[in-house]
A and B are shown apart, each in its own frame.
Chain A
């Protein structure tokens, strides 16, 4: 008898719990969107960088509604074409890697909810392997302005233009003297991103 009562009580408790789990009228239910609206991180793929012989992927983290930081990593192929450069540089790379840091400040555009504009500073370095050279390093410092647009649920598009100063240093294997040059370049960037 006692065992039977115990069994009935357990079954009753299970049904009560099922009722609680199935409740959908709490406020949490209305705000459960899989974390999309509170997502602060976006993985971006740079669509135009392959034109320069670079494959770049970056991670942007939003610290507040206005401030974010984009950290990128690049794989450099053996093809090089400069960005919109005002002085030409001619060399044949054999691959390499790079990184970038881009802090951003966002400004709301009135009466739009999915479109924001931003201003950012850009710092990046590219380390090329070149025959007959020990190393070739490109260092870019500049700024960009851009538009950030939400598309659908997790997709974002980012467009920007900017200008930056590139300094590049290289030293030859035979002659170990270091050379340093610089030039001014313009930048056009289009990225597609996924909120995570």
Chain B
């Protein structure tokens, strides 16, 4: 009997060693994995969450590829060394597509004036690179300093897309579509009337490709959306029928200016476009548009004017003047399409203030103050009617760390939207009207989960608390939604760990 108890105790220790599970009163589960030793605070560029393949999570930390199981326990790590006959390759992206891991890398050949994109697979057991390097795309470069960038996108159906703006002609976009094994299905090009920035690309289940492009008539490095807001236009470029049919549609709203927009598609594969706008008189609001998938025509366009001061009232710094309309400080975080066809839009207020301080006799220091404030939610019905709008009071602040622990992550499950972010314990008291700022102080931090019922428009805040302090922080900018759960990077104590949220 004693032997049996001892074995059971050891098994429990093994299962929970380095791993912790928390629940909030909304039945949301938060699982923390083991320590990740290669990550340093502030190095957001080091960590790239790749995705899930055959039940295991894969992440890239620096040039180390690491594998974790479903309980976030470390399984294997391998240093990636990309080269071909001693010529170094630049890592572009690692993709988990279908049941395979693909590495996309590039090589800049200054003699041929071209940049090539290659793909090869990774052995999921040994994490070694397979010797099946294959060239899949090329860019004709203008100079070694203006070599363009390959942008790579893939969807849940395993369809992959490579697109880029041609360095020699900043009005021209090239699009190449591949199947899940990176075999080319089609390729095409399109030239806009002016220089173009790609805001978003969407691949539908039917392998149609839709592009939101912002065209502007200025030098590429001089264009800033919030400064030049009367000098740019939004366009939607669509590729249908295996890229053979191209349609471009300029979103001409008369005196209205789109400040941010995001595409998605509903269950009927119609293209939906939603976002924020302002007009000449600086009144600001949200819009919703729908294009029919067969006729490719915009069949529905609705604008909801929320008033001049709606977005201004969420700024916490009194008297702060940003020099541009406050709507430009709102970032579209997520668009969720629900089973009944309704659409939810999540936006967050974000801005950075620069401050220069002089320290005699000759030292000058530059401070970047990062602010991530209120979350604004908008819910549209299937016909684009604005059913409700809500705001979640939030005030996060940090300095000179790129807002490492700030912002939010969200995922949709069972017609509810779950939003998680770091907050201060001072905001736990529901009777307190004032919103206190979260300042990266670990000992005072609580992970807050906000559950939004999309049918009723009700909001429920459910922080993760424990009898004693949990001592954890999320890194919301390093997150990915996989199969109705959220996987992201976090920090517990001195070490980073991976954390997953799902519904029990």
User: What distance in Å separates the Cβ of B141 from its nearest Cβ neighbour in chain A?
Assistant: 12
A52 within 8 A of B: no
User: What distance in Å separates the Cβ of A27 from its nearest Cβ neighbour in chain B?
Assistant: 6
User: What distance in Å separates the Cβ of B104 from its nearest Cβ neighbour in chain A?
Assistant: 14
- Please encode chain B, from 66 to 102, with 1 for each CB lying within 8 Å of some chain A CB and 0 for all others: 0000000000000000001111101000000000000
CB of A33 within 8 A of CB of B110, answer: yes
Q: Which residue of A lies closest to B90 (CB)?
A: A113
Q: Which residue of B lies closest to A111 (CB)?
A: B45
Q: Which residue of B lies closest to A29 (CB)?
A: B112
Q: How far is the CA of A158 from the CA of B86 in the complex (A)?
A: 24
A110 within 8 A of B: yes
- Please encode chain A, from 148 to 162, with 1 for each CB lying within 8 Å of some chain B CB and 0 for all others: 001011000000000
Q: Is the interface of B mostly helix, strand, loop or mixed?
A: strand
Q: Which residue of A lies closest to B147 (CB)?
A: A113
Number of residues from A at the complex interface, CB < 8 A: 18
B292 within 8 A of A: no
Q: How far is the CA of A110 from the CA of B87 in the complex (A)?
A: 21
User: What distance in Å separates the Cβ of B242 from its nearest Cβ neighbour in chain A?
Assistant: 24
Assuming A30-B116, A31-B87, is B111 touching A36 (CB within 8 A)? yes
- Count the A-B residue pairs with Cβ separation under 8 angstroms: how many? 48
Q: How far is the CA of A30 from the CA of B145 in the complex (A)?
A: 19
Which of B85, B87, B116: most chain A CB closer than 10 A? Answer: B87
Number of residues from B at the complex interface, CB < 8 A: 20
Contacting residues of chain A (38-79) with chain B, CB-CB under 8 angstroms: 38, 65
CB of A32 within 8 A of CB of B111, answer: yes
Binding site for A on B (CB under 8 A): 45, 84-88, 90, 107-112, 116, 118, 133, 135, 143-145
Apart from the given pairs A31-B107, A150-B144, 18 other A-B contacts in the complex at a CB distance below 8 Å: A27-B135, A28-B85, A30-B109, A30-B135, A31-B84, A32-B111, A32-B112, A33-B87, A33-B109, A33-B110, A34-B111, A37-B107, A37-B109, A38-B88, A113-B90, A114-B144, A114-B145, A152-B144
27 pairs from A and B in contact (CB 8 Å cutoff): A27-B133, A27-B135, A30-B107, A30-B109, A30-B112, A31-B84, A31-B85, A31-B87, A32-B112, A33-B109, A33-B111, A33-B112, A34-B111, A37-B87, A37-B88, A37-B107, A37-B108, A38-B86, A38-B87, A110-B45, A111-B45, A114-B144, A114-B145, A152-B143, A152-B144, A153-B110, A153-B144
Q: Please give me the 10 A-B residue pairs with the lowest Cβ-Cβ distance, nearest first.
A: A33-B111, A153-B110, A33-B109, A34-B111, A30-B116, A31-B87, A37-B87, A38-B87, A38-B86, A31-B84
